[in-house]
Structure 1
Amino acid sequence: MDFRRIEIIFLIVFCSLDIWLLFSFRNGQQIVSSSNTTTSTVADMRKRDISFGKLDSKAGTAYYLGSRPNSTLANNIGHLRDQEVQYDSTDHKIDSSLNDPISVTKANQTTKLNSFLKKETNVAFGTKYKYAPQLSTSSQIVYAQTDQVGELYDKSGRVTFDVENKKVVGYTQTYVDDLMILHEKEATKSEKDVISNLYTNSEIPNNSKITYANLAYAKLTEAKGSTIYIPVWFVTIQNKDSKVNSLKKVNAFTGNIIKNSTTAATTGDEDSE
């Protein structure tokens, strides 16, 4: 592999990214940054019957990451057993149909699938994936790829199990072989600042509950065949009456709300043993 050429490509991409981020920052939404304002906002949220746990006010750090398409999964299909597998070379994706579907309930699904992922003959690199409740629904159980720098909440690095009639019948898988750090660590917004900003921008309705707030990496853009990832706060908000979830995304570097990213899924299904 020509690493020098890759470095040059990422340098060009990152310079373009800096210009894009500067423009985005100047035109982005106003961010709640005053500690007094944030404290007042949190108090106001409780008055409006918005439930949440203790919010971390400590800012963290994260990276800009990059990756390039690879055929790692294709090279490992031969290790898989007891399933019918197809590989999509365009999306670099595995589609698998299990010979023996796995019976699951809401109570035991993660335990069973965690064990399933540990065997290399079941899922390639299965131990590098972690259950992602925010991305899962009653019909799809999603595991996100993990790396030493964090979790990847992006379609380019996940295992999605398909559930039909309380049985896992198959899965799709994507995998990022090598995440490259493109820049030194930068400060990220705290959980408390992000939640306050969502509320100030009318993204959190009354009579709701914040069930998850997780920091993970997601795709920012693609350029010259490479993918750039940034840290994103994923915040799940549940309506207390309907039990319907909405997923909000916030750029962890700038605090800007990522629009057109809200998805809803009913999670009120209760499986019995």
Structure 2
Amino acid sequence: MEVPGLDSSQMMLGGFLLDWSKTKTIFIIVFLILDIFLLTLFINKYNENQYDFLGEAKLEDKLKLENIKYDLPPSKEPESQPYINAITKAFTEEEIKELKGQSVEVLDTTTITSALKDSSYVISDKFKPEELNDFLAKNVLHGDSYSFWEIDEDQQRILYYQTYNGKTLLKNINGELAIYYNEDRKIVSYTQTLMTDFEEFPDKKSVITPLQALETLYDKEKLPSDSTVGTPEMGYYTLVPEAERQVLSPAWHFTVKKEGETDHLFVNAFEGNIIEFNNTEKELLE
């Protein structure tokens, strides 16, 4: 129905006078702004993917030139991780009584030193971690909380570190299990520490990708020519190694093998700095 005094570009809606030509213009502008916003998101995402691709291609050429072989997990969206609080466990007398067939001492309530009275566990010349699964289950408190790290034939020691949510507490002396064997390769003793009461900080932060961590190691000349870099794994390192209560931060752990020797390299997964472990002390390199 025509309304007197209104031209063809105007109409009444709910008692309000609308100018249809202006309304169309507003809709066009709104949709244009939305299209620009979506296009910007797409371009930014495309540029990020291109940066990862070009960065990987560039790094791949450098590593190939120096005959450095490496294995990275498939690219995926950057993940977020929290800082973690944990404290050193104080072992109780009741827990120590559970350790049968052992002569046990506890130092400062936090470190178990145990000598086995009659051990039947003998490791092979080509040791595999699963050889000690039964020993860990039957002779070590919370033995399933540890993950194999390395065997040192010179010190006749097999080293394990505690894990949290499947991630290793990297070279943490307060979450360490050291198992010792004799000349006959029989298990004779061990020392143990354990972290407990883990609490995650509520806020999570984005971590750098394995590719970015690998590039940091290359740029800092930590990757020797003719070496092989294993698949990186994320773990946690402590900011204050000897404190009873520790703050743990995520880090990328790389193994680098050359001429039969294995080196462990670490990169802070938040900041991208290389972490140097020197016995129980750590130093961040620029």
Specify the TM-score bucket, using the shorter chain as the normaliser: 0.7 to 0.9
**CA–CA distance in structure 1, aligned partners of residues 92 and 176 of structure 2:** 12
Report deviation, 1:110: 1.6
**1:225 & 1:129 partners in 2: Cα distance?**
19
Q: Write the distance in 2 (CA, Å) between the matches of 1:238 and 1:200.
A: 18
Equivalent-residue separation in structure 1 for 2:231 and 2:93 (angstroms): 34
The residue correspondences of 1:181-200 to structure 2 (distance < 5 A) are 181-200=200-219
Selected match of 2:163 from 142, 146, 153: 146
Instruction: Report the Cα distance in structure 2 between the residues aligned to 1:236 and 1:257, rounded to whole angstroms.
Output: 14
**1:218 maps onto 2:233 in alignment:** no
Correspondence 1:236 to 2:255: yes
In structure 1, the residue matched to 2:152 is 137
Q: Shift of the alpha carbon at 1:55?
A: 4.1
Taking structure 2 as the reference length, what is the TM-score of the superposition?
0.70
Distance 2:180 2:229 in 1: 26
Query: In the TM superposition, what whole-angstrom CA distance separates every residue of 1:51-80 from its partner, at most 9, and x where no partner exists?
Result: 122444333322211123331355511100
Unaligned runs of 5+ in 2: 1-49, 281-286
Partner SS state of residue 85, structure 1: strand
Aligned residues: 224
Counterpart Cα distance in 1 of 2:195 and 2:123: 28
One-letter code of the match for 1:52? Y
List aligned pairs for 1:33-52, cutoff 5 A: 34-35=51-52, 36-52=54-70
CA distance in 2, matches of 1:140, 1:223: 22
User: 1:81 deviation in Å?
Assistant: 0.9
CA distance in 2, matches of 1:116, 1:223: 28
Letter of the 1:60 counterpart: E
Q: Partner of 1:159 in structure 2?
A: 177
Distance 1:156 1:224 in 2: 9
Higher relative contact order (CA 8 A, sep 6+): 1
Decide which moves more: 101-110 or 37-46.
Answer: 101-110
Larger radius of gyration: 2
1:108 CA displacement: 4.8
Q: Secondary structure at the match of 1:68?
A: strand
CA contact (8 A) 1:67 1:226 kept: yes
Q: 1:73 to 1:142 in 2, by over 3 A?
A: farther
Identity %: 24
Letter in structure 1 aligned against 2:221: S
Taking a change above 3 Å as real, the CA distance of residues 254 and 61 of structure 1, as seen in their structure-2 partners, is same
Q: 1:205–1:53: structure 2 CA closer, same or farther, 3 Å change rule?
A: same
TM-score of the aligned structures, taking structure 1 as reference length: 0.73
Cross-structure match for 1:100: 118
Distance 1:190 1:140 in 2: 33
Q: 1:39 to 1:229 in 2, by over 3 A?
A: same
Q: Give a deviation string over 1:234-255, Cα, whole Å, max 9, x none.
A: 212112x3x2222211101111
Distance 2:75 2:278 in 1: 25
**What code does the residue aligned with 2:152 have?**
T
Superposed, 1:30-69 pairs within 5 Å as 34-35=51-52, 36-58=54-76, 59-69=78-88
Deviates more, 1:222-231 or 1:34-43: 222-231
Contact 2:70/2:229 (8 A) holds in 1: yes
Distance 1:86 1:251, change over 3 A: same
Equivalent position of 2:273 in the other structure = 256
The secondary structure found in structure 2 opposite 1:254 is: coil
C-alpha distance in 2 between matches for 1:170 and 1:180: 32
Q: Secondary structure at the match of 1:185?
A: strand
- CA distance in 1 between counterparts of 2:243 and 2:137 reads 35
Q: What CA distance in whole angstroms lies between the structure 1 residues aligned with 2:262 and 2:252?
A: 16
- Residue by residue over 1:174-233, the C-alpha shift from the partner in whole angstroms, topping out at 9 and shown as x without a partner, is 111211112322221222221121011111010111135221111112798521111111
